[in-house]
Amino acid sequence: MTDAELLQYTRDTGDFSRMLSSIPYARFIGLECDRFGDDLIFRLPRKQQNLGNPILPAIHGGVIGGFMELSAALYLMMSQETPRMPRIVDFSLDYLRAGLDRETYAECRLTRQGNRVANVMITAWQKSRSQPIATARAHFLIEG
């Protein structure tokens, strides 16, 4: 299946499993995605290999950052016509509290889209959406 066919299949069916299994890092961290109407919620399940601090235990900060960046890229890709992964230009991440060893969620919001650059805000949380563990801003170069 070509990238364009894979993207179209994901858009048509809402089944992200094929797309996510084609991305090595998504497979490695266990990234999942669910569609609720027009909204996408990205999920990082509990996974021992994602831990960075076994004492707390807490998810490694790099895993949280990678999860949020990849979520934003996939979110943007689903809203674009091109099947190509957008290229990251800038990524700014604020850690707000420890990401404990539990399921973690992220949602994205497109804040600006020009002809060449798109800006996405990402919020990650665990137990409550009102208590995010991290927020991020990502700028992507998009192919027109």
CATH code, domain carrying 113:
3.10.129.10
Query: Considering the chain, what percentage of its residues have pLDDT values greater than 90?
Result: 75
pLDDT band at 144 (very low <50, low <70, confident <90, very high): low
* Average pLDDT score over residue span 124-128: 97
More confident residue, 3 or 73: 73
What's the total number of domains in the chain? Answer: 1
Tokens found for residue 125: 């949380």
The 10s digit of each residue's pLDDT in 89-125 is 999 999 999 999 999 999 999 999 888 999 999 999 9
- Tens digits of residue pLDDT in 35-53: 988 899 999 999 999 999 8
Task: Provide φ and ψ at 127, rounded to 5°.
Answer: -75, -40
Please report which helix (H) or strand (E) contains residue 83, including its range: none
Structural domain of residue 79, as residue ranges? 3-141
Q: Tell the burial category of 60 from Cβ atoms under 10 Å away from its Cβ (0-12, 13-18, 19+).
A: middle
